[in-house]
């Protein structure tokens, strides 16, 4: 009889422990935060892309050591070139060699906005200083992608720039032989990118 009593006690204890374990697991499940859905990645669609060589012109007295452009994230649009020599004392326009390469939509996209960066070597009194500049919401004048030539970075006094694609139309606003007028709506104003300069400074330590 004593043996049976002990056996019954152990059974009851086992059932209690099992119930307690289930309760703890249930409470733990309630305490676990719900899994958050992964953020959706929006890939912009600007149609078929095509690549071309990059070059530049410089109407300013700054040496443009390097420049680059990029489209929206995940768009695949980017490129760059340099150096672009400064305007000479005799007034000769500074030019750049040809670099490979830049990628833009094969068909002009009126809603496309780019970001441009460039490193300028500027005269400051009796010394030369270098500063990074950035222009946002840069637009490209309309071009015929079937006749696309070089991608040009055109730099103007006052840390301004204009990006264009030659397409064989000398009067269509993409003629590198014509200086952009001051009223050109595709001229973008660059601003000193001190944040980027600080990142470079910290990265070099």
Q: How confident is the model at residue 41 (pLDDT cuts 50, 70, 90)?
A: low
Do 119 and 161 have their domain in common? Answer: yes
Do 75 and 4 have their domain in common? Answer: no
Overall pTM surpassing 0.85 (yes/no): no
pLDDT for 125: 86
Domain presence at residue 40:
no
Domain presence at residue 96:
yes
pLDDT for 171: 78
Do 104 and 180 have their domain in common? Answer: yes
What is the average pLDDT value for the chain, to the nearest integer? Answer: 84
Higher pLDDT pick, 34 / 193:
193
**DSSP state letters, 58-120:** E-SSSEEEEEEEE-STTS--EEEE--BPPPPTT-PPEEB--EEEEEEESS--TT--EEEEEEE
Q: Domain total for the chain?
A: 2
Do 185 and 101 have their domain in common? Answer: yes
Higher pLDDT pick, 90 / 189:
189
Using CA atoms, how far apart are residues 108 and 124, in angstroms rounded to an integer?
A: 40
Do 76 and 147 have their domain in common? Answer: yes
pLDDT for 73: 92
Residue 174 pLDDT exceeds 90? yes
Q: How confident is the model at residue 203 (pLDDT cuts 50, 70, 90)?
A: confident
The per-residue pLDDT for range 61-91, each reduced to its tens digit, is 999 999 999 999 999 999 999 999 999 988 8
Residue span of the structural domain in which 22 resides: 1-30
């Amino acid at each position: 009889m004593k043996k049976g009593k002990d056996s019954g006690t152990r059974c009851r204890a086992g059932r209690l422990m099992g119930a307690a374990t289930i309760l703890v697991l249930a409470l733990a499940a309630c305490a676990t935060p719900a899994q958050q859905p992964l953020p959706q990645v929006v890939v912009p669609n600007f149609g078929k892309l095509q690549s071309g060589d990059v070059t530049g012109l410089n109407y300013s007295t700054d040496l443009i050591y390097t420049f680059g452009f990029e489209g929206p994230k995940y768009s695949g649009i980017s490129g760059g070139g340099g150096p672009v020599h400064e305007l000479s004392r005799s007034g000769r326009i500074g030019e750049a060699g040809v670099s490979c390469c830049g990628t833009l939509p094969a068909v002009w996209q009126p809603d496309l906005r780019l970001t441009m960066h460039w490193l300028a070597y500027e005269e400051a009194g009796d010394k030369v200083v270098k500063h990074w500049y950035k222009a946002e919401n840069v637009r490209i004048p309309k071009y015929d992608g079937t006749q696309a030539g070089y991608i040009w970075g055109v730099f103007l006094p006052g840390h301004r720039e204009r990006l264009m694609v030659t397409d064989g139309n000398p009067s269509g606003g993409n003629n590198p032989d014509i200086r952009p007028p001051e009223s050109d709506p595709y001229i973008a104003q660059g601003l000193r990118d001190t944040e980027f300069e600080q990142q470079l400074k910290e990265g070099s330590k």
